[in-house]
Amino acid sequence: MENMFCYQCQEAAGNTGCKMRGVCGKNKEVSNNLDGLKYLLRVLAKQASENSDKETDVKKIDVFIMNGLFQCITNSNFDDAAIKSTIEIGKRLLTKASDRDIDFIKDSIKGNPLFTKDIDIRSARETIIYGLMGMAAYHSHAYNLGKFSDSVFTFTRNTLVALEDDSIDLMGYVKIIDQTGKYGVEVMALLDKAHTSTFGNPEISKVSIGVKKNPAILITGHDLHDIRALLDQTKGTGVDVYTHSEMLPAHYYPQLKKYENLVGNYGGAWHQQSTDFESFNGPILFTTNCLVPPSKDARYNDRVYITGNTGMPSWKRIDKNANGEKDYSEIIEKAKTCGPPTEIESGEIVGGFAHHQVIALADTIVAAVKSGAIKKFVVMAGCDGKFKKRGYYTEFAQKLPKDTVILTAGCAKYRYNKLNLGDIGGIPRVLDAGQCNDSYSLAVIVLKLAEVFDCDINELPIVYNIAWYEQKAVIVLLSLLHLGVKKIHVGPTLPAFLSENVANFLKDTFELGTISTVEQDIKKMIG
């Protein structure tokens, strides 16, 4: 393509699509090469489906597909050379000479949305692949902890093949959208099991947001396997570790919070990283997506390290060594040459309300509902973003009636998790389940409450006002729709990739809506 076209995130230009440069910061070369990677993944999926009896080769392709889909997530990989290298590695897995001869860079249009001419089929196909990208992210985290699902591998592979099948009509793709939600639930349950079996069940925890006097490393992204390795290697070195953005929930897990060198959380959501990194003073480790390209003169460029599926050409990369481990000694030595973090706030925030902890409090919560002390639960999970309109979520939280409780997960919570919203009979009015990766907890809580009150999930005193930004939020939404949840409000805008007909189908079938003003939405949702 001469330019580019991308509309996979909430900040797509004009809510229609980025055509010259991504609002996220990716240039046309990066965008088009990611499209080339998506095309390669479909070719590999077809090959693997045709040779599913060759278990070893198929498993290699399945793992490559998941990692490739993860790289395609918004704000993950901005390194053009790294993407091309990934494509070359993937081409070595191809067995047909005709497939190996494909120039996936030149043919990148075949992985771009515009290659599908019918606008409704395009919308359905893109909804599915964005769901797969989110699913791949969650599965990759579980895989790093030794957990995987053959059924998720198979579904992902077969669905990529289906995205090139012109015999499938719109309603056929609608069925696949629902199946994507079904496997989304499965993969989030898998990740929950990977986290809790490795690190224990999250506990109610108070997390410092101030600073100490030691030199320190800031870890951001989402991967808990990486933070455990970093904590092990920094233990006894005099270097502290702070979490940033979606790594905050590491403080809730018993097997991570036991580390004395895990001292607090620094800064806010992902899009604030430029100012957070500047004042932190020490080195930063990026484990996964939610990366903002730095300016050329950013003074922290020489102290940011990346790993996993992220890519930024100006930052140093840390990969696994011959033993399959990551050596963070260079980051640790770098930290020793830096001053301690500059304090930007003080106090503490409370979290750790994942499903195991909330269910342990079920009797107290149910009693509060029955007595009328809690009138409504408001699910405000999802993503944060740069747009000023997202100040809506702070105002919405502030203006909610005092007899409502917010259930949250993901970085959307940074819009209100430091507000003093009080409690209801000892129950905090903001119950933070953790990362966007922990959205499964909210589904478990909803299903448990439906069981306790012996009613349909849509009869519960629960409303949904969810902020989205990228593809992990897409798979969470599809999972909720598969579970039958209705009247979800998605904001700040509905996805640009939803055509009018597909959007209307979701509105008519699930009563899906978007936000308006705080006053109108509180009146509509809360009454």
DSSP per position, 329-344: HHHHHHHHTSPPPPP-
Predicted confidence band of residue 1 (pLDDT cuts 50, 70, 90): low
Residue 486 has which token pair? 């209705």
Judge whether 5 lies within some domain: no
Is 190 in the same domain as 138? yes
Judge whether 87 and 37 are in contact, CB under 8 Å. yes
Cα separation, 218 vs 211, whole angstroms: 12
Looking at the chain, the whole-number percentage of residues with pLDDT higher than 70 is 99
Domain holding 433, by residue range, is: 355-525
Is 41 in the same domain as 162? yes
Is 250 in the same domain as 165? no
- Give the number of other CB atoms < 10 A from CB of residue 126: 23
Could you tell me the CATH number of the domain that includes residue 129? 1.20.1270.20
Q: End of a domain among 172, 198, 224?
A: 198
Burial of 327 (0-12, 13-18, 19+ CB in 10 A): middle
Is 426 in the same domain as 511? yes
Could you tell me the CATH number of the domain that includes residue 244? 3.40.50.2030
Judge whether 131 lies within some domain: yes
Cα separation, 220 vs 271, whole angstroms: 12
The contacts of residue 486 (CB under 8 Å, 6+ apart) are: 458, 510, 511
Q: End of a domain among 277, 309, 336?
A: 336
Is 373 in the same domain as 520? yes
The contacts of residue 479 (CB under 8 Å, 6+ apart) are: 181, 182, 184, 185, 188, 439, 443
Judge whether 1 lies within some domain: no
Mean confidence (pLDDT) of the chain? 96
Is 435 in the same domain as 310? no
- How many domains is the chain partitioned into structurally? 3
Q: End of a domain among 169, 198, 227?
A: 198
pLDDT at residue number 424 = 96
Quick one: how far is CA 463 from the chain centroid?
A: 22
Is 29 in the same domain as 175? yes
**pLDDT tens-digit profile of 455-506?**
999 999 999 999 999 999 999 999 999 999 999 999 999 999 999 999 999 9
Is 90 in the same domain as 144? yes
Is 168 in the same domain as 249? no
Judge whether 488 lies within some domain: yes
Judge whether 4 lies within some domain: no
Is 179 in the same domain as 218? no
- Give the number of other CB atoms < 10 A from CB of residue 174: 17
**pLDDT tens-digit profile of 268-299?**
999 999 999 999 999 999 999 999 999 989 99
- In three-state secondary structure terms, 311 is strand
The yes-or-no verdict on residue 436 having pLDDT over 80 is yes
Is 297 in the same domain as 387? no
Judge whether 141 lies within some domain: yes
The predicted model gives 149-164 an average pLDDT of 97
What does the H/E/C string look like for 120-146?
Answer: HHHHHHHHHHHHHHHHHHHHHHHHHCC
Judge whether 51 lies within some domain: yes
**pLDDT tens-digit profile of 332-342?**
999 999 999 99
Is 328 in the same domain as 359? no
User: Facing residues of 216 across strands?
Assistant: 240
Judge whether 215 and 160 are in contact, CB under 8 Å. no
Closest by CA to 256, choosing from 323, 132, 351, 148, is 351
**pLDDT tens-digit profile of 17-64?**
999 999 999 999 999 999 999 999 999 999 999 887 776 689 999 999
pTM of the model: 0.96
Judge whether 341 lies within some domain: no
